Amino acid sequence: MPSSIKFKKRTLSVVMLLVASQGAFAHTRLQIPTVVEGVKMQNWVNVGHGCADPSGALAGEGALKNQSTFATNVIFPNAVSYTPIIGVDGTSGAGTAKVYSTITADKFYTPLTGIGTLIHTGGPWDYSNNKIDALKNKDGFWMGGAYYDQSIATTIQVPFFSAAVKIVPASCARSVTFELAIADICNPAAKSPNIGDAQALFWSPIPNFTGVPGQPFGAGIADPARAGNPVPVGPKFSNYDGSSNGDKVGMGAATAKAGDGWNSPATLKITRDTVANPLPAGCTGNGGKGDDVYIYPSADQINKEMPIWSGADQTGTNYWK
């Protein structure tokens, strides 16, 4: 996404596939959200809609989302150079009873990084790169450089490979779910934190569950009635949680509301192959069926790797932050 390129506005063509299962205005999600362990899979990030219309209702769940999308930016949890936040749910079967765990990631799954790697196919955007840590491990990717008009209700698809993640045989995990941090950028000139849903949509993983240090994370204005995704008043988790200030860029933290993608991340769930990798004796979670483990990228990783740079290692020319 070099600064010298001429930004273009495009309508979506045959390389942009309509994903009927996601609906016309679906959130940003993975095409294949669940994979059996040990399988390397070609997958896609589906950008379901653009940012909020700043000339209409303020951003939020009811806003018209018709702004063209300029780029998307994806981070998978890295457990080598960072310390992810881990939650274990052994009771609900639905991830609603997670409890913070200090057990390290290597006790649950492998590999500990390189979970998602970009496939550059020549589209949908001309410019892209993987993201790497100081040890050259791949943590995610970005793709962008043109304004894509999504008002015709078509999903943008960005291809990537998901790694052949395996669940550690000695663990009681029946599944491992990676919580992704994603930013869909509509206005590359707007920089965080002075940014709202009219400039970028942040599909942010917020680890608001029992035992996590510093939680509850929230926004300046609480929204306990938000359907299925209540928002408390609380400190931010990362610099890219997302707020719904719409066109009112620069509103203070105390007046900020949570944005459309707040605590609504895309996920990649790895399920245990219980034939080839049966649960150890004595596992009690979920009635003896095993624990569901959730892996959140640390705030440190999100803050360092969400900005877009010309270099994969967060060096060179900064395109967006």
Backbone dihedral region for residue 80 (phi beyond 0: left; psi -120 to 50: alpha; all else: beta): alpha
Predicted local distance difference test score (pLDDT) of residue 245: 53
Query: For the stretch 275-287, what's the b/e string if a residue is b when 16 or more beta carbons lie within 10 angstroms of its beta carbon?
Result: eeeebeeebebbe
Amino acid in position 235: P
User: Which pair of structure tokens corresponds to residue 318?
Assistant: 């900064």
Task: Please give the helix or strand (H or E) that residue 303 lies within, else none.
Answer: helix 299-305
CA distance 110 to 122: 30
Predicted local distance difference test score (pLDDT) of residue 254: 61
Low-confidence ranges of the chain (pLDDT < 70): 1-25, 55-63, 153, 193-194, 244-255
> Mind listing the pLDDT tens digit for each residue in 165-187?
999 999 999 999 999 999 999 99
Residue pair 144/1 in contact by the 8 Å Cβ criterion: yes
Q: Which residues pair with 42 in a beta bridge?
A: 161
